[in-house]
Amino acid sequence: MRMYQVDAFTDQLFAGNPAAVLVLESWLPDKLMLAIAQENNLAETAFVKPRSDGVWDLRWFAPAHEVDFCGHATLATAHILFTTCAATSPLIFHTRMGELRVAKDAGGYRLDIPCLRPKMIEALPSEIGRIFPSPPVAIFRNFENFFVDLGDADAVRGFVPDLAAIARLGPVGLVVTGRETREDGADFVSRYFAPGAGIPEDPVTGSIHATLVPYWAERLGRQKLLAYQASPRGGWLNCELTENRVLLAGNAVTFMKATLSLPDDT
């Protein structure tokens, strides 16, 4: 069985966020898909198969469990389907998050995801309430993550996560974000931690921007924004907020093609 590894949200190798992609004819057993994700030890491994109506079913697995929403592995999957399977644009994926689309774009690809508007909250859970040295500007959440606005990009870059405390949230992740003040920088920056899902710090995360984009669009009064995820690998995202969707533009490059040796009874 063939597997690909792709660096997503980048136009060069060894940057962006790596994801593994397997194109299947039918689903493998869930236990085996999780085992493959654990063996890869990447933030996500994507499994995609064609449907009879010309669209695709897509699932994502982190090392700890199947996940509900993943942007960078969706972009990586589209890249493989476009470059190795002669797929036509746009691609339509049926997922746990509903319908996602990826189209070819002048700068690479355009990922169309739901807009998950932030739910403002007054306090963080007790597990992580004490890991911030200063009171946040704002705290909000969506169905899978907590978000903390630290005020400015330098605070985000300098944030030292208490991964043991964050892991107590289980599969729920933590996003820290702040406004960039450098003239040549992004509009806002972020970092994402989900150690309880097997992801200490994710390099570039498409799904968190489903909530970050509407938050910063309201704060900055603009629908089009440039985002930077300030992980060690780093990644840029061109973002646009529409009525109920978020558009993310980015590129992807193939790093590896591999042949898997699976158990004989699969």
Q: Which residues are catalytic?
A: 44
Residue 167 and residue 199 in contact, taking contact as beta carbons nearer than 8 Å:
no
Alpha carbon distances (Å) from 250 to 54, 105, 119: 24, 9, 27
Residue 236 and residue 228 in contact, taking contact as beta carbons nearer than 8 Å:
yes
DSSP structure string for 47-101: EEEE-TTS-EEEEEE-SSSEES--SHHHHHHHHHHHHHS-PPSSEEEEETTEEEE
Residues near 125 by beta carbon (within 8 Å), at least 6 away in sequence: 146, 169
